[in-house]
Amino acid sequence: MNIEHASQEQLRLWEHQLAADYAAIVARKLNLDLTRGKPSAEQLSLSDDLDGILKGNYKSLDGTDTRNYGGGEGLPEARALGAAILDASPSETLALGNSSLTLMFQCLLNAVQFGFDGPDSAWHKRGKMTFICPTPGYDRHFTLCEQLGIQMIAVDMGPEGPNMDQVEQLIDQDPSICGMWCVPKYANPTGVTYSDAVVDRMAKLAKRAQPGFRIFWDNAYAVHDLAEPQTLASIMAACNIAGTQDSVIQFASTSKITHAGAGVAFVAMSARNLTSFKTFLNSQSIGPDKVNQLRHMRLLPDMAHLRNHMQAHARILQPRFDAVSSALDAAFTGTDLGQWETPKGGYFVSFDTQPGCAQLVVQMAAEAGVKLTPAGATFPYGKDPQDRNIRIAPSVPSVAEVIAAMEVFVTCVKLASVRRKLA
């Protein structure tokens, strides 16, 4: 189906057929959900040995009684695992509570309110604060900015990462830019892993930015490969060469490794940044949940165990992603109805409809019993300027449910495209 050059007569014929297909789907009264990128129950069960794993032995490797207060930086062995995930040094990595999103919020708040380089560097003193947001991107990053009064400017994501010409130009021209979001591996939602050249240019951004500039390097999918792992160049190694170590703060967590709601989150940053952040943290807590960190270290003592564990996740996830890819390939290859990538890891497939169709597709799918992430959610302020992007998250439903949901999706994309063209 190519609708761009189709005649009115052909479009009306398609509309008639597709409306009948759609009515048949609505009559099935489905109830399927492709919204949030969560692990399925089957994936969560891979880590159920966490329960009871300590068998009364609460001592960490250095003899710390993990039940007590203290250890604000996290257990040394957990910090080492976080450092290995993030390609950072253990002494510059903290292992903390269950959510990396919380750590991102805390780092943002520290930068806005107190300043990583002392009170004069607090971002709020600049008046206007702006973040660069590669789009489509992760909706919760944008919510954090909105909550803290940080404006957002979108830059395009390409096959190798953010459009670095746009990023550099913005930094050169706009002194209110104080930071940037990045999901550098299997990006949410495009699945793109940043190329070496992009990582290198990222590491050099601080040289042209205002002092205090920070890149929030959210490596949420660092070890979440589906097939052959893609390699991401080390941002810290590149920063060490560029002399910009203070400009990057890295985040990761075990949320999609073990139990999503009861994991361990990691943050890595330069020694200078750590001094500021630890002061910020120490006033809030007398230490993280070290018992949970110890449980994680008994289950996943090193990267070899972690990689095995992630392969078990991949075996569960891959058929679901295959179901999405097969449906999209069969329906849209060679048409002008949409564009998508087949991700090599992460939790999402990002689909671009014809301009002006995404909201209609999401609405029609909802009316046919398939919930999709609201159109626009992958853009700052929830507004996709071209109304094109839809994020598909197939991890939770069964393979049969993904197949059924994709049948609905495909029909909705076709019908919405034809109706839009006819309108």
* Interface residue list for ligand PLP (CB under 6 A): 37, 99-101, 138, 183, 188, 218, 220, 253, 255, 265
| Beta carbon of residue 391, minimum distance to ligand PLP (angstroms, whole number) | 10
Exposure letters 289-309 (e unless 16+ CB within 10 A, then b) = bbbbbbbbbebbeeeeebeeb
Sign of the Cα pseudo-torsion (254, 260, 262, 268, in order): positive
Give the nearer residue to ligand PLP in terms of CB position, either 90 or 263: 263
Give the nearer residue to ligand PLP in terms of CB position, either 350 or 411: 350
End-to-end, the C-alpha distance of the chain in Å comes to 18
Give the nearer residue to ligand PLP in terms of CB position, either 218 or 387: 218
| Beta carbon of residue 96, minimum distance to ligand PLP (angstroms, whole number) | 10
| Beta carbon of residue 20, minimum distance to ligand PLP (angstroms, whole number) | 37
Give the nearer residue to ligand PLP in terms of CB position, either 64 or 99: 99
Please report the DSSP string for 126-185 in residue order.
GS--EEEEEES--HHHHHHHHHTT-EEEEEEEETTEE-HHHHHHHHHH-TTEEEEEE--S
Which tokens belong to 195? 């190329």
Give the nearer residue to ligand PLP in terms of CB position, either 25 or 394: 394
| Beta carbon of residue 397, minimum distance to ligand PLP (angstroms, whole number) | 17
* Nearest CA among 163, 222, 232, 227 for reference residue 195: 232
Task: Look up residue 347 and give its DSSP letter.
Answer: S
| Beta carbon of residue 183, minimum distance to ligand PLP (angstroms, whole number) | 4
| Beta carbon of residue 385, minimum distance to ligand PLP (angstroms, whole number) | 22
* Nearest CA among 158, 192, 143 for reference residue 167: 158
Distance (Å, whole) CA 249 – CA 386: 31
Distance (Å, whole) CA 318 – CA 322: 6
Give the nearer residue to ligand PLP in terms of CB position, either 219 or 417: 219
